[in-house]
Amino acid sequence: MKVLVADDSATSRQMLRSVLAKWGYEVVLAENGAEAWDILADADPPPMAILDWVMPHLSGPEVCRRVRDTHREPYTYILLLTSKNTKGETVEGLEAGADDYIVKPFDQHELQVRLRAGKRIIDLQMDLLEAREELRERANKDLLTMLPNRSAIWTVLRQEISRCHRDNRTVGVILLDIDHFKRINDSYGHFAGDTVLRETAMRLRSNMRPYDQVGRYGGEEFLVVLPNCDLEQASHQAERMRQRLEETCISLEGIEITISASFGVTVSDGSEKDPDVFVRVADEALYRAKATGRNCVSRLTLEESTHWHPC
């Protein structure tokens, strides 16, 4: 684990570096408070810091206050080195944001034990952050297909529409529906249906640009967001996806299942900022694709749609 040692005494810095290195820590040195603050304000600061109380430019408690005022994650565990051993000064250091303190001259074993306690806190916090990130990922993912779920892909669409309004760009929107999905479930069971959904997700993802996004919109529907695509380009991409889905059957316990889908395509040029409008227009285009025999692409502009009523 990386530890910052900030002390204006070169002798003290070198002694601490030698001791900490012997205990397996990677040591970063600072010779004054301003330098310590620059290191702790970096994008990847050491998770632990040992700060001398009295330093040029910024004192140890002042560095503590600055670190705590940022409310950054992950947490930085701070231990103050001080020659002061009165109750008032101890309280001052802890109120500034220090987690612990040790009085100079100190016993090396005491320092080692205090650092171990700090490391336990840092390790626990990292576990909590990882658990929170996992929960966030699960909250935004469809666990069957591992695509963004309805809420997450909706957020992507809203952000892209806002971006195209701001930057005078276009964004393509595709809504697709697996053809006769209920028939697959009824004929082969829900396990087969789940397999079809997962395979559909995989084929869609494999046929997209790195910055395109696809999410499971609900049931057998998928929503695709194509930044910087006009209607012609979005329609071409939808046709590529359609061909990719139907080109190979799924083999499942000796059964060959053909996948096909119907696609509705529209595009935003920034004139309309409500994402719900584009989904409804894409859904109208999807309805037309189904009405003309399924397994095809239908496209619709806002002006052609019955769902758009400009102010």
Sign, Cα dihedral of 143, 145, 149, 150: negative
For residues 71-89, give the mean pLDDT. 84
DSSP H/E element including 176: strand 171-178
The confidence score (pLDDT) of residue 311 equals: 45
If one compares 90 and 258, the residue with the highest pLDDT of the two is 258
Q: Is the pLDDT of residue 131 over 60?
A: yes
For residues 199-206, give the mean pLDDT. 96
Q: What is the pLDDT of residues 10-69, one digit of tens each?
A: 999 999 999 999 999 999 999 999 999 999 998 889 999 999 988 999 998 999 999 999
For residues 240-269, give the mean pLDDT. 93
DSSP H/E element including 224: strand 221-227
233 band by pLDDT with thresholds 50, 70 and 90 = very high
Note whether 281 and 220 are within 8 A (CB).
no
The confidence score (pLDDT) of residue 309 equals: 54
State the DSSP code for 249: P
For residues 301-309, give the mean pLDDT. 73
Superfamily of domain 150-299: Reverse transcriptase/Diguanylate cyclase domain (3.30.70.270)
Nearest to 211 by CA among 284, 283, 159: 159
**What is the CB neighbour count within 10 angstroms for residue 245?**
23
Nearest to 272 by CA among 307, 238, 297: 307
Separation between Cα atoms, residue 263 and residue 307, nearest integer Å:
18
Question: Where exactly does CATH 3.30.70.270 map onto the chain?
Answer: 150-299
Taking the domain 2-139, which CATH number applies?
3.40.50.2300
Question: Where exactly does CATH 3.40.50.2300 map onto the chain?
Answer: 2-139
Separation between Cα atoms, residue 257 and residue 137, nearest integer Å:
31
Q: What is the pLDDT of residues 204-224, one digit of tens each?
A: 999 999 999 999 999 999 999
Question: From the candidates 31, 35, 62, 220, which is the catalytic residue?
Answer: 220
Token representation of residue 289:
């694709």
Among this protein's residues, is 220 annotated catalytic? yes
DSSP H/E element including 134: helix 108-140
105-116 b/e (C-beta count within 10 Å ≥ 16 → b): eeeeeebeebbe
Q: What is the pLDDT of residues 1-12, one digit of tens each?
A: 999 999 999 999
The confidence score (pLDDT) of residue 139 equals: 86
The confidence score (pLDDT) of residue 170 equals: 92
Nearest to 207 by CA among 226, 191, 190: 226
What is the pTM assigned to this prediction? Answer: 0.66
